[in-house]
Structure formats: C-alpha cells, structure tokens
Structure 1
Amino acid sequence: MAASVFSSELYSRLFPAGEAGKLFTDSAEVRAMLLVEGTLAKVQGEMGLIPAESAAFIHRASLEIPLDPGGLAEATGTNGVTVPGLVAAFRKEMQAPEHAQYVHWGATSQDISETAQMLRLRQFLNILSANLTETAQSLGKLAETHADLPMPGRTYGQHATPISFGATAAHWGAPLLDLLAELPALRDRALLVSLSGAAGTGSAFGPRAAELRAAFAKSLNLKDPQRSWHADRGPILAITGWLSRLATALGKMGEDLILFTQTGISEVTLGASGGSSTMPQKQNPVQPSAMVALSRQVIGLNTILQGAGLHRQDRDGAAWFTEWLTLPQLCLATASALEHGRALAASIAPNPAAMQTALSSTLDLLYAEALSFRLAEHLPRPEAQAAIKTLCKQSLAEDTPLSTLARAAYPDLPLDDIFDPARQTGQAPAEARAFAAATRAL
C-alpha cells in the first residue's frame, strides 16, 4: 500500500483529489514560500526597511529562480523546518550577496511557512467552493425533478412514514448550502498572514512592525491577524472544522446511497458501479463507499489536529510537525470525497418502481401515524393511538393490509387520502422545491 493513496499510481483513481492535489506537493510548497519571501522584501522596500534596489531584486528573483525541493531535504532534516535551507539556497542562487543579505529580513521560519500555507489553503477553498456549488446545484435538480416522488422514509433502518426522493436529495444538499454560506466568514477569520518574528514579538521590525504586517497582508490578499498566532492554532482548526463538517455531509450521502442500492432495496441507481473479481452479478457501490471511508478519515484526522492545537509556550515543534503529518491528508481526503459526491450528484437516479414496491409491501403500516391522527379527530388522542396500535398488531398477525382493517373498523371515516403515499409526504415536496430554488440562486 502506498504511503498516500492520493498520489498512488494504484489508488489515485479510487481516491481522486482533482486540482486540489496539485496544492499539496513539495514543489507547490517551495513555490509558495518563495512568493512569500519575495512579497515580504517588496513591502519592506516600499516602507524603506530595506534598500529599494535590493527589494526589487529579491522580488524579481523570487518569481524567476526555481529551487529543487530535493536539494532542501538534508537541511530540513537537520533544522526541522524547510525555511532555513530554502533561504540559504535562494541567497546562493541569486548570486548577488549585496541584495541577498536582505532576504527574510526580520522574519522567522514559521512566518514564511504558515503564510505560504495560507496561500495554498486559499486556493484549496476556492476549488472546493466551485465543486461544492456544482454538487449542490446537481442535487437541486434532483430535488426539483423528484419533489413529488414518494418513497419510504426510514428511521432506525425501519420503514417510518412516506417522504419524497426530492426531499432526500434536499437533505443531502442542505448542509452543503450552509457550508457555502459560511465560506466568506471563514476566509476572513482564518486566511491570515503570519509575520511576528522569532518569539512572536516582531521586535526585529522595530516600531513599524504592525504597519509592515498590514501591508504584507494586503499585498498577498490575506487577512491581517493584528497579533501573533504562532501558538494559536485557531485559524487552522477553523478550516479543518469546516472541512470535517463537509466530509461528514458527504459521508452521510454515501451511507444512504449504499443502503439505497442494497440488494432487495435498489431504490437508486448509480451512474457507475464496480465489479467483483469472482461474482459476475455484483454491481458494487464503489463511489459511495469511498465517500464514507474518506469521511471517516477526515473526522479522525481532525481529532488529531485538535489535540495538536495544544501548543506549548511560544512555539511547539512536536505539535507543529503533527499538523504537517495530518493537515494535507485531511484536505485531500475532503477534496476526494467531494470529487465523488460531485460525480454522484450528477449521475444518480431514483428507481420509482422499486420505491412503489417498497411502499406497497408493508401492509400499509407506513400510514399508521396518519391513520391515528385521522381517528383522533373523533376520539381522544391516546384512545386513537391505542386503537390503531391494535389494528397494526392484527395486520401483522393476519397478514392483512392496515387499510383493509381500517375501512372495516371505521366505515364512516374518510381514508382514501390516508393510504395515498403521494398525499402523505407532508412538507417534503415543498422542502425539496425550496432547496432547489436556493441552489438556483448560487
């Protein structure tokens, strides 16, 4: 098994990360750190903190000079962080020591590393936002088209009361709309620059430290935290918390699809399915299964990250390293789950015949609640409930539909609507259409 399924030649099609995968590579990390170093020098030159000529040279070099990540490995292993080796290699490649001396002026490794990470996380959230919007819109079309299609609702794995497939699609999509709505605030809260110096005091920048940080943030189109957050992992945890909720919503959709495609139910068909190496009849729900597995991974990794949020003192190497081991995998797992969710939302279809069979194969017991409320119009509610419960037991004992027994017991009670699934879905159709309308506004 490969160390990471997302970059594995064997498993990358089962766990596809899409465009997001390009953001979590060594070359992407190095490129982002060079961009940060170049922008820092540019801003410092504009403020007169370093010579303007050197600032311009450094900024231009940061855009033009490539660094091989492999060449930084030994220094990273020694220093525990990539930035010292990157700065040394960058200065050497510049071949202009009079300018190179001003690279990384007053910053600390964490400033560069975390600001570069935020640049990549910004791109990552943009990719997810686009895919999330597409997924929600596909679910909206399902909800609109099948708003009135009745199917059994299930609680505890048992038939409950009728719902509609459109409402089921809306229930999958509603959390996605909430997450999309939260993204602007999340970006404002969490996509921060880091520029605080060695122990978070910014002392090397002098009295203009706050001004420099604000200008640095503006140049990178990130937010100014107006403080040091070296040991405060709140910004990272805010992002991973959002990602965990997204993965959970996608995992729930996957769980439902596994059940809906189960032999004997088959109420939903998938756009694609997998085969068995030995059983020719098998049509396995591969994509939903991958979504569930990925969701579980994200939830577990987020727990690790929450523990890693307990930083000791002003910087904690072990906690920081734990983030490096965990955050990329969490991000890619979420992206992969969304890739599957996006494909499924655009390809799944209901099986109305199977839904009708399920509705008609329960001796009409799905309508027991509605029947009890109809009877409660003429009897006290507890008496009505007790009477219908007795009829349900009789229905099961005699293998006779509840509708037949109810009509015999209460010939004067209007019951046609009670045993019509299309008229017993309550607010489900309206909920489906409301969700569909919301997705059209995206």
Structure 2
Amino acid sequence: MKMTPDTLFARDTLWQSWLDVEAALARAQADLGMIPAWAASEINAAADLDKLGRDALDADVKRTMAPILSLTRLLGKAAGKAGDYVHWGATTQNVMQTGRLLLLRKADGEIRANLGRAVARMGDLAQEHANTPMAGRTNRQHALPITFGFKIAGWIEEMERAEARLTDATTRMLALPFGGAVGAMHAFGPQGRDLNRRLAADLGLRELLVPGRTANDLFAEYVVQLALLAMTVERITTEVYTLMTDEIGEVTEQLDKGTVGSSTMPQKINPKYVVRSISLAAELRSFAAPALETGRSSHEGDSAANHLLSSVLDRAVPLAWRMSESFAETLTRLNPNPARMAENLARSNGAINAENLMMALAPKVGRAAAHDVVHHVLEAGCVADLATAPDITAHLTPDEITAALNPALYTGDSEAIAIEAAQVARGLSAKLGA
C-alpha cells in the first residue's frame, strides 16, 4: 500500500518499521557471528506484521504497555527456536527511534519531490514572464517597476536556501541512534562498535560516536528546518493571496469546472488552493517551539523528552508532507495576468519611475538637488507637471523626460535575473527529485 501522510506514523506502519529494525539487527549480528546465521534468517522471515498477527500484538501491547517488549515477544514466537536471539542486547528506545527514523526518511523524500514540483513551476514562470512588467512594492506601496519573472526569482532563491538548510538537517538526522541501554554498546562486548557500523550500513544511515538515546537535537533541528520551510511557503503563498484580491488581480487560480465560491454570493469565486497552503504552513511553523523543548533531555535517557519528541514528529512531519503537496498544487494552478499588471503599473501615470527621472537629472544638478526637484513637483500632486517644471526642462528634453517616466523601460536587471533564476530552478528541481 502506498504510504501517505495519514499512514506515515499509523500503528501498523510503526510496528512494521520496528520489525524492520529487528530484522536488520539480526542480520548485522549474524555477520559478526554474535548470533547464528540460521537464526537471523528465521528472524527475518518472521519479521512481518501479517505473520505476527495485528490483533494478538494489539492485545499484548495493551496489557504490557511496552510495545517493543510485546513486539519482540511475538516475533520470537513466530521465529521458533530462533526466537531466543530476537532483540539481542538492544533496548526499546533503540528500536523505536530507529524505526521512526526510517519512516522520516521516506517522508522527507516525498516532501522533497513535492518541493521539486513547486520549484519547477517557479522556473517556468520566471522564464515565461522574465520581461512581463509589473509594479514592485515595498511597505505594500508601489516602489519601482520590476517584472513578474523577477518576483518569482526571489521565491526561487529563497527556496534554494530553504532546501540547503533542510538538506543539512536531514543529513545530520539520518544517523543510527542504536547504542544499547545508554549508548555505550554494553551488551555487545568488544563487537559493539562493529555492530553499530554494520547496522548503520545495512539501514543506509550514518554512524554516531555516541549512539545514545538523548540525541534529540538531531530530530529537533529537522523540525525547526521544516518550520523555516513553512515560513518561506507562507510568505510566498500569502503574497500570491494578496495579488489575487479584486483590487489588484495580478494572478488567479485555475479552478476546475463547477467550483463554487460562496453559498450566498453567486458572483464570488474564492481562492481554494492558496488558502490551504497558507493554513498548513502557519500550523507547521508552530511546531518550532515544542521541537526545541525535546532537546532538553537529561543524562543518558529521558522518556518524558522522548514522548514529546514522538508527538512532535508524528504531527509535524505528516503536516509538512501535506503542506508541500498543497504548495506544489497551488503553484501549478497559478495564472498570471499581465494585462492587469500593466494596468496597475500605469496607475501612477509614470510617478513610479520618479527615481529614473531623478537619476537622469542628477548628473546636471547633483543627486540631492535632483531628488528635491522631483519630490517637490510630485508633492504638489500632478505627475504631468514633471514635463513642464522649469528646473527639469532646463536640463532634459521632452523626449528624455517621457522616456525616463516609461515604466517598461525601467525594470533594472529584472529580466536577466529572472532568466538566471529559471536555470537555478531547473537544477534545484532536479536535485529535489521532481
């Protein structure tokens, strides 16, 4: 069955992940001669939830309140005589944390693939609209002309930073926390370090010098990076949501036929996808604080901290998976409206280009004086007066003034930046596995 955010940490999924760890442990121990090879083979054959019986395991867990004890007990029974070698020298938290780590790796792959889809769409938009003029905004006011592709370029570069941070955290997190009762491999004698090395290689994880039960910072960092990713997703989608307002209307969502916006207002077609992305991102951000609490574990083992860690991971990671899916879907359905961008850009009748006029005048009178001249004309409230103001016409021709106030001619390096960002997006999307 295909894994989903809803089944990632479901009971059966977790139980099977623990069985997978027990099977890998037996393989590694057989390789080192710690247990017989035939026993490892039998344990591996029996390490299947279908063979153990879900109802029997559920009943035993309810009785013992010790899931790994119940699981290894039934695994031992299913393995026959090889059951004497099940869970050899391991402790509960070793198995639980390692099993959850294997599931985290699967979820991380899905999250990255969804982000790859989102970034690929950004790259297409940046390329297609590299030269589509629009109003740049600072403090939610018109600032200078840019292109829509330039705006997307900013999103791409921010996503590149988010991916780098998340990748670093994931690399650190995917380390085997399997060191016996306190992390020093006591029960495995002189072969403890070799066992840890073999088990890590079998599971595709890196080694820890101290594979203890309180290395919660590795998991906490990952959740914090998911929260930072959510911050980026929320920033982008909130900006999209704003651009969708009727008064701006520079982008819309592509909705399926039959979509209804309101039960009482027939004219309304409300955004459907972007609002879900915003909501999921805001919720995911909230897990940063409890994630940091999980790192405050004590000594060589702390069940309270580990219970909190499991709770945070079980909620935050599936949420990140859903958010990444929603984010990719939102961008896939994003439709720019160049005509409305041009209309909004023209609303100031050229005043948005005041900086350009100032810089054309500056070589003649100095930058500060040029600023004051243009500012005072606009302060009087009439852009048309820029073409007749004596302090300007004394130095610039009518054609020079007209050209200086044309927004389409003053987008800086927007186009070049957008095209370069599109290339970055293609590389990043491939890296993310889209």
Q: TM-score, length-normalised on structure 2?
A: 0.90
Deviation at 1:78, TM superposition (A): 6.7
Q: Secondary structure at the match of 1:377?
A: helix
Q: Is the 8 A contact 1:18 1:336 kept in 2?
A: no
1:406 matched to 2:386: yes
Other-structure match for 1:6: none
Aligned AA (1:198): A
1:160–1:366: 8 Å Cα contact kept in structure 2?
Answer: yes
CA distance in 2, matches of 1:84, 1:383: 81
Distance 1:255 1:78 in 2: 49
Structure 2 residues not aligned, in runs of 5+: none
Q: Tell me the percent identity.
A: 28
Give SS of 1:291's match: helix
In 1, are the aligned partners of 2:43 and 2:75 still within 8 Å (CA)? no
> Which of 281, 300, 305 in structure 1 is aligned with 2:291?
305
1:27–1:68: 8 Å Cα contact kept in structure 2?
no
Distance 1:26 1:274 in 2: 37
Q: C-alpha distance in 1, partners of 2:404/2:297?
A: 60
Distance 1:115 1:430, change over 3 A: same
Tell me whether 1:233 sits opposite 2:219 in the alignment. Answer: no
Partner of 2:83: 100
Answering whether residue 139 of structure 2 is matched by residue 172 of structure 1, we say no
Question: Contact (CA 8 Å) 1:20, 1:127: kept in 2 or not?
Answer: no
Q: What SS does the aligned partner of 2:142 have?
A: strand
Q: Equivalents in 2 of 1:185, 1:263: separation in Å?
A: 41
| Aligned-partner Cα distance in 2 for 1:307–1:161 | 44
Aligned residue pair count? 418
Q: Distance in 1 between matches of 2:53 and 2:143?
A: 60
Is 1:211–2:194 an aligned residue pair?
yes
Residue equivalent to 2:120 = 137
Taking a change above 3 Å as real, the CA distance of residues 381 and 220 of structure 1, as seen in their structure-2 partners, is same
Equivalent position of 1:416 in the other structure:
402
- Confirm or deny that 1:31 pairs with 2:16: yes
Structure 1 residues 68 and 323: alpha-carbon distance in aligned structure 2, compared to 1, 3 A threshold = farther
How many angstroms apart in 2 are the aligned matches of 1:79 and 1:192? 30
Matched with 1:337 is 323
CA distance in 2, matches of 1:271, 1:18: 28
Q: 1:70 offset after TM fit, Å?
A: 5.9
- Taking the aligned partners of 2:191 and 2:334, their CA distance within structure 1 comes to 58
SS of residue in 2 equivalent to 1:269: strand
Q: Aligned partner of 1:408: which letter?
A: T
Structure 1, residues 258-316: CA drift from partner, whole Å, max 9, x if none?
A: 10111211110112276122111222222211111111111111211111211122222
SS state of the match for residue 280, structure 1? coil
Contact 1:137 1:440 in 2 (8 A): yes
With over 3 angstroms needed to count, the CA separation of the structure-2 counterparts of 1:71 and 1:417, relative to structure 1, is farther
Q: CA deviation at 1:433?
A: 0.6
1:263 paired with 2:250, answer no
What amino acid is the match of 2:46?
Answer: A
1:281 and 2:267 correspond: yes
Residue-by-residue CA offset, 1:308-339 (whole Å, 9 max, x unaligned): 21112222222111122221221122212211
Counterpart of 1:202, as a letter, is M
The one of 324, 327, 343 equivalent to 1:357 is 343
Residue 66 (structure 1) shift: 4.0
Sort the Cα spacing of 1:69 and 1:328 in 2 relative to 1 into closer, same or farther, 3 A: farther
Partner of 2:183: helix, strand, or coil? coil
Q: Determine the C-alpha separation between the residues in 2 that align with 1:174 and 1:197.
A: 43
Aligned to 2:419: 433
Equivalent residue, structure 2, for 1:194: 177
Q: Does structure 1 conserve the Cα–Cα contact (< 8 Å) formed by 2:176 and 2:211?
A: no
| Structure 1 unaligned spans of 5+ | 1-16
CA RMSD of aligned residues (A): 2.2
1:45 lines up with 2:25 in the alignment? no
Separation of aligned partners in 2, 1:253 and 1:366: 24
SS in 2 for 1:50: coil
Tell me by how many angstroms 1:381 deviates.
2.0
Matched-pair contact (CA < 8 Å) for 2:17–2:99: yes
